[in-house]
Amino acid sequence: MNILVRNLSRDTNEVELKKLFSPFGKIASFNIVVDGATGESKGFGFVDMPNKEEAVAAIKQLDGETLKGEKVRVKTTKRINTATKNKMIRRYKNYKLNSSSGSSKQAKRLR
């Protein structure tokens, strides 16, 4: 089960994220999303737990818990295929490019 972890402190690292979830069971993968340009955390990450019951227990227990002074939000998330993910990235990049140049017409079209 893929789990979204939001509102992470910007200095939370992947080891701490794994440590947070490991008492609940096996973790298949985990990562914190970072800004490609700066390398800084964007304040959210993902944890994949193969056992659904363990994942649900982790979500129930950890949602709203405080980690490094921040109240984290934990919920399930859908997996998306690569084509959908790439489309979302292109739309985001186009939005950023157009919003920085002041073209609100193009930005509205992307919504």
CATH superfamily of 2-79: RRM (RNA recognition motif) domain (3.30.70.330)
Structure tokens at 94: 């186009």
Q: What percent of the chain has pLDDT over 70?
A: 72
* Position 28 pLDDT exceeds 70: yes
CA atoms within 13 A on the CB side of 47: 31
In this prediction, residue 55 has a pLDDT band, given cuts at 50, 70 and 90, of: very high
The pLDDT value recorded for residue 75 is 94
Mean pLDDT to the nearest integer, 25-47: 90
The tokens for 50 are 């193969």
| Domain coordinates in residue numbering, the chain | 2-79, 80-111
pLDDT tens-place string over residues 56-92: 999 999 999 999 999 999 999 876 656 665 676 677 6
CA distances 75 to 9, 14, 56, 101, Å, are 17, 18, 9, 35
pTM: 0.70
Rg (CA), the chain: 16
